[in-house]
A and B are shown apart, each in its own frame.
Chain A
Amino acid sequence: MDHLEQLESLSVHILREAYASFKNLCMLWSIGKDSTVLLWLARKAFYGHVPFPLVHIDTNFKIPEMIAYRDRLAREWGLEMVYGMNEEALREKQTFPDGAIDRIACCRNLKSTALANTLSGKWPRYVLNHKTGSYEVYKNTEPYTGVIVGVRADEEGSRSKERYFSPRDRENSWDFGDQPPEFWNQFKTDFPPGTHLRIHPLLDWTELNIWEYIERENIPTVSLYYNQGDGKRYRSLGCYPCTTPIESPSRNVAEIIEELKSGGLKNVAERSGRAQDKDDGGGLETLRRDGYM
């Protein structure tokens, strides 16, 4: 087995453990490369099926190509596609692009708070109706208590402390100092009723692994990742007011892999195009504790 097969097998194993152990599971899909690889791995694990809903938190400031891509794959792959958003903050213009608040507060409003309330079912969820092709209010308001997330340990300091199965308390916060042990492939999968859980099947993957796997499996990705002729591309996808493309000549997956291995990106942090990280002194830590992905 090569290293990609090993990574794939462990991730599939974790997805299957999650599916066997927890009710009310969902998978967060940010539309980015990592969570798309995660979605692909779910199709691997369950042989073409995805037996839980995909949840997307729409900030309303996502780059439009991302939403079009999301809905295309949701239809093609027959996904149970759900989204939620902070409609109140958007209505009252409590956002950074509206000039009302800073970047960190905006992330908290449009992402962390929207996520918490979408997962709990307190705020409306919208589900794709495969017959009409449009979204409608989802009748299922049961809380999602197991959330599968595509974070990687190499992304950023705080993420390297995560476990494959990581409990959050009722406020979604994360007590990283008191985490359960994980022996061999025996993960902690027993939790008191009411526990909210994050499941991290991609923890051991690196950015390079993600691209190598996208190439090997021929996984469809958003065109924003590639230079369309202007010498710029996105390395990490987010909201357009806070995400800037990087200077890069890579026009396809193979060129990105080459660029990561030897080219200009070798020693540049992946999220360098994400403005909110810089505003949060200690990296993502403040946001992470509030449930940010």
Chain B
Amino acid sequence: MAEILEKQKMNIVIAGHVDHGKSTVIGRLLADTGSLPDGKLEQVQENCRRNSKPFEYAFLIDALKDEQSQGITIDTARVFFKTVKRNYIILDAPGHIEFLKNMVTGAARAEAALLVIDADEGVRENSRRHGYMMSMLGIRQIAILVNKMDLKAYSRDVFEAIVKEYTAFLKEINVVPACFIPVSAMLGDNIAALSPQHMPWYTGKTVLDMLDAFEKEPPPLDKPFRMPVQDVYKFTRFGDNRRIVAGTIETGSLALGDEVVFYPSGKKSRVKTIECFNAPAQTQAVCGTAAGFTLEEQIYVTRGELATKAGEPKPRVSSRIRVNLFWLGRDPLVQKKDYLFKLGTARVTARLEEVRRVIDASDLNAASKNQVERHDVAECVFKLNRAIAFDPTSDIGATGRFVIVDNYEIRGGGIIAEGLDDRQTWLRETVMLRNYKWEKSIISPEKRAEKYNQKSTLLVLTGEKQVDRKAIAKQLEDRLFEDGKVVYFLGIGNVLYGIDADIKGRDGNQHQEHMRRLSEVANILLDAGIILLLTAVELTQDDLEIMKTTVSPEKIETVWVGENVTTDIAYDLQLTQHENVEESVDILKAYLQDKGIIFRPW
């Protein structure tokens, strides 16, 4: 019992050009390790005999009918087998170029790779492409099998020529191969046992020896604590009052009493309990665990933030990043188009700002383009619509990996090379420090929201000078007040002549400082649970970015009042019926209800 419980598990992927023999290698591994259920091999052989086609090991794993008729393995298949040392899961990666996304799926989860090269055909386009992608996906252990040696009369010269050519290629992409093994998967040479009769000149490892020689990477326990927040649970059934911050710990560990800091907000609190179900109370949770903890002081945390520990290296927070990515979408990655960017549990809108370099994975030539084509590997800069927390991949792999979604599909993925300064860098440190130092009330934001029966929100009404935003805002304030809401109207001038008396003026940095102070005032009022109605002339996207950096972005709703949009602001709602104040107020009220900020009457 103890023996099997402690037995290691390792995910491996088999890649290589189409028809170079990946499936045969897998079939042979299964057969030679006695991993096939009784009768399975005979059943497939019988099928082949009945259909008068030669038996191939590939048929064993190509369990799907359609797939066998096509003759290629078409999706990531998981195949289990074991050696005395450990249990293996093979994530079969097909070589056909159309199926590159399946290879990515397999390779992204693998700890080691076998790359198969046909001795007869030699190094081909996908031999190189797969090698490159594996290194980018973070696989550090790669063994190369030179297959179908039987077709080349087991020639040592053929083998060594391929070793030379492919080693040179791997060197260019900084990959050190674990070893090269000459095999015939069909005949079983050097798979489970050496083949002194066919290749007496090869005395290195067999494929099975090599698999067992791959090392498990130690869990990243000594890295800083990182846990992307998946959710905050409060299930009130059965009188449960716990408010549990849940997520999977990527690196490091967390203990009772630790001070945790959430980014990008910079909010902090202390770990009160580490939660678990059907297990004794825990004092610590380590990387790899799908964990959950409660906090001493209630703070407003949402999915998408990154939990870290005070006193450890901080993550980077920015809305501009330089990345390496590969693109799988049929349509190229282009500028001036919104993409969904996912990293950890964060989801933001992203735009391609610049393509710095495109590398053709098959020949590694760099070309300069302003878009990224299907199956290209590229170095790019992205602008995100709001800042996220991450680590450059060279520091921590897990929190620097992202995917890009377009039209519901994952079209590409990659790693963050570095965070770049954005237009809010000057402000962000101040805000994070303010959040870190914030003295918290006993009353939690949820409690306030429950009491006031509303979600605290900043509703920004902006538009051209001659359009009367204030009349609408004041009427809305009156209506909400009469409904029993805790609401407050704030004209921008109310701040300009008081709080800003020392810096009044609308040029350059003073304007930014003006927006910052206004946003700080808004932040205090929002913390008090209020619905704040703010009016200002012609706010720009930059102004909005300052507000979004200062106040939680999900608490801001922006409305452009009037037909003519004269700035670049990305508003949530446009109000064209502004002449009719009553109607405008109705629309805004309905909008707040739709957003769940206030509730519809029964």
Which A residues contact B (CB, under 8 angstroms)? 1-6, 8-10, 12-13, 16-17, 19-20, 43-49, 51, 78, 153-154, 156-158, 160-161, 163, 176-177, 179-186, 188, 190-192, 203-204, 206, 208, 212, 217, 254, 257-258, 261, 267-269, 282-283, 285
**B410 to A267, Cβ gap below 8 A?**
no
**Chain B residues with CB below 8 A from A154, complex form:** 78, 80
**B1 to A181, Cβ gap below 8 A?**
no
**Chain A residues with CB below 8 A from B76, complex form:** 161, 163
Any A CB within 8 A of the CB of B278: yes
**B230 to A184, Cβ gap below 8 A?**
no
Any A CB within 8 A of the CB of B199: no
Given contacts A13-B248, A161-B76, A161-B77, contact A181 B233 (CB under 8 A): no
**A47 to B292, Cβ gap below 8 A?**
yes
**A78 to B237, Cβ gap below 8 A?**
yes
Which residue of the partner chain, among B230, B238, B398, contacts A78 with CB atoms under 8 Å?
A: B238
Please provide the chain B residues from 1 to 24 with a CB less than 8 Å away from any CB of chain A in the complex: 1, 4-9
**Chain A residues with CB below 8 A from B246, complex form:** 16, 45
Given contacts A176-B75, A180-B409, contact A257 B64 (CB under 8 A): no
**A158 to B66, Cβ gap below 8 A?**
no
Which residue of the partner chain, among B275, B328, B345, B408, contacts A191 with CB atoms under 8 Å?
A: B408
**B5 to A16, Cβ gap below 8 A?**
no
**A204 to B78, Cβ gap below 8 A?**
yes
Q: Which 8 A-B pairs have the closest CB atoms?
A: A157-B63, A12-B290, A181-B101, A267-B38, A49-B235, A183-B413, A153-B78, A9-B290
**Chain A residues with CB below 8 A from B8, complex form:** 3
Which residue of the partner chain, among B40, B65, B78, B235, contacts A160 with CB atoms under 8 Å?
A: B78
Any A CB within 8 A of the CB of B475: no
**A13 to B230, Cβ gap below 8 A?**
yes
Given contacts A9-B289, A153-B78, contact A46 B233 (CB under 8 A): yes
**Chain B residues with CB below 8 A from A9, complex form:** 248, 288-290
Interface hub of B78, B79, B242, B401 (most chain A Cβ within 10 A): B78
* A228 CA to B493 CA, complexed, in Å: 83
Tell me the nearest residue of chain A to B402, going by C-beta. A186
**Chain A residues with CB below 8 A from B345, complex form:** 20
**Chain B residues with CB below 8 A from A258, complex form:** 1
**A176 to B235, Cβ gap below 8 A?**
no
Closest CB-CB distance, B64 to chain A, in whole Å? 6
**B64 to A48, Cβ gap below 8 A?**
no
Closest CB-CB distance, A244 to chain B, in whole Å? 18
**Chain A residues with CB below 8 A from B303, complex form:** 20
Tell me the nearest residue of chain B to A286, going by C-beta. B65
**B78 to A47, Cβ gap below 8 A?**
no
Please provide the chain B residues from 223 to 271 with a CB less than 8 Å away from any CB of chain A in the complex: 230-231, 233, 235, 237-238, 240, 242, 244, 246-248
Closest CB-CB distance, A236 to chain B, in whole Å? 14
**Chain A residues with CB below 8 A from B78, complex form:** 153-154, 160, 203-204
Tell me the nearest residue of chain B to A43, going by C-beta. B277
**B248 to A261, Cβ gap below 8 A?**
no
**A269 to B290, Cβ gap below 8 A?**
no
**B342 to A186, Cβ gap below 8 A?**
yes
Which residue of the partner chain, among A17, A179, A180, A208, contacts B230 with CB atoms under 8 Å?
A: A17
Interface hub of B78, B79, B87, B277 (most chain A Cβ within 10 A): B277
Which B residues contact A (CB, under 8 angstroms)? 1, 4-9, 36-38, 40, 61, 63-66, 74-80, 87, 89, 101-102, 104-105, 108-109, 137, 219, 230-231, 233, 235, 237-238, 240, 242, 244, 246-248, 275-278, 286, 288-290, 292, 303, 328, 340, 342, 345, 398, 401-403, 405, 408-410, 413
* A90 CA to B280 CA, complexed, in Å: 48
* A279 CA to B87 CA, complexed, in Å: 32
* A8 CA to B61 CA, complexed, in Å: 27
* A19 CA to B292 CA, complexed, in Å: 15
* A260 CA to B64 CA, complexed, in Å: 26
Closest CB-CB distance, A191 to chain B, in whole Å? 6
**Chain B residues with CB below 8 A from A176, complex form:** 64, 74-75
* A3 CA to B3 CA, complexed, in Å: 12
**Chain A residues with CB below 8 A from B240, complex form:** 47-49
* A20 CA to B303 CA, complexed, in Å: 9
**A51 to B278, Cβ gap below 8 A?**
no
**B5 to A2, Cβ gap below 8 A?**
yes
**Chain A residues with CB below 8 A from B247, complex form:** 16
Given contacts A3-B8, A47-B292, A190-B340, contact A160 B77 (CB under 8 A): yes
Closest CB-CB distance, B180 to chain A, in whole Å? 28
Tell me the nearest residue of chain B to A11, going by C-beta. B290
**Chain B residues with CB below 8 A from A161, complex form:** 63-64, 75-77
**Chain B residues with CB below 8 A from A13, complex form:** 230, 248, 290
Closest CB-CB distance, B438 to chain A, in whole Å? 26
Which residue of the partner chain, among B1, B79, B401, contacts A257 with CB atoms under 8 Å?
A: B1
Tell me the nearest residue of chain A to B408, going by C-beta. A190
Q: Could you list 18 A-B pairs, sorted by A, with CB under 8 Å? A: A2-B5, A6-B288, A47-B244, A47-B276, A47-B292, A48-B238, A49-B235, A49-B240, A181-B413, A182-B105, A184-B108, A186-B401, A186-B413, A191-B408, A261-B4, A267-B37, A268-B38, A282-B64
Given contacts A188-B410, A204-B89, contact A177 B75 (CB under 8 A): yes
**A16 to B290, Cβ gap below 8 A?**
yes
**Chain B residues with CB below 8 A from A12, complex form:** 248, 290
Which residue of the partner chain, among A157, A177, A217, A282, contacts B278 with CB atoms under 8 Å?
A: A217
**A183 to B235, Cβ gap below 8 A?**
no
Tell me the nearest residue of chain B to A269, going by C-beta. B37
**B242 to A47, Cβ gap below 8 A?**
yes
**A181 to B64, Cβ gap below 8 A?**
no
* A153 CA to B275 CA, complexed, in Å: 30
**A186 to B79, Cβ gap below 8 A?**
no
Tell me the nearest residue of chain A to B74, going by C-beta. A177
Tell me the nearest residue of chain A to B248, going by C-beta. A13
* A153 CA to B106 CA, complexed, in Å: 14
Tell me the nearest residue of chain B to A153, going by C-beta. B78
**B233 to A283, Cβ gap below 8 A?**
no
**Chain B residues with CB below 8 A from A160, complex form:** 63, 77-79
